[in-house]
Amino acid sequence: MAPAKQKLLISGLIVLGVLIVAFFGVRAVRAFTHIRERGFGPGHPPPAPSETDVQLIRDWMTISYISKAYGVPDRMLFKELKLPDKGNSEKSLKVLNDEFFPAQAGYVLETVKQAISEHRPPAPPTAPAP
């Protein structure tokens, strides 16, 4: 094979490889952004919060974690606690209690549990057993 033909073949294969990589790269980026923006795809909303038992809340948890796990707005929890949400959403309940209510042990934990119990919609009725 002539050197000119060999160079042309190698260049063509390199260009083809770059085009294939670019094509699948663009598809991967589109899929990633679609999942981030819309949840799990068309017609598939993100899963509903699964936790319902407020007795499982512990003082190491943060307001933002509890908000996502129990499906309640974090603003509502901060309003119940009468605390600013700026700079406090990633602090644990224990840290918030120690910082804002040092004389009342467990106040933040119990207030969060009570607020969630009062503000969550009731669970849908279960079907009777046959």
Q: Are residues 24 and 70 in the same domain?
A: no
Backbone angles phi, psi at 100, to 5 degrees: -105, -25
What is the percentage of the chain residues whose pLDDT exceeds 90? 20
- Domain co-membership, 41 together with 87: no
Nearest to 58 by CA among 101, 103, 108, 99: 108
Burial class from Cβ neighbours inside 10 Å (0-12, 13-18, 19+) for residue 96 reads buried
Residues 97 and 43 in one domain: no
78 assigned to some structural domain: yes
pTM: 0.54
Boundaries of domain holding 37: 14-47
pLDDT mean values, one per 10 residues, the chain (130 residues): 90 96 95 71 54 81 86 88 85 89 89 85 63
Q: Number of folded domains in the chain?
A: 2
Residue 60 domain flag:
yes
Query: Does a structural domain hold residue 98?
Result: yes
Question: Is 24 inside any structural domain?
Answer: yes
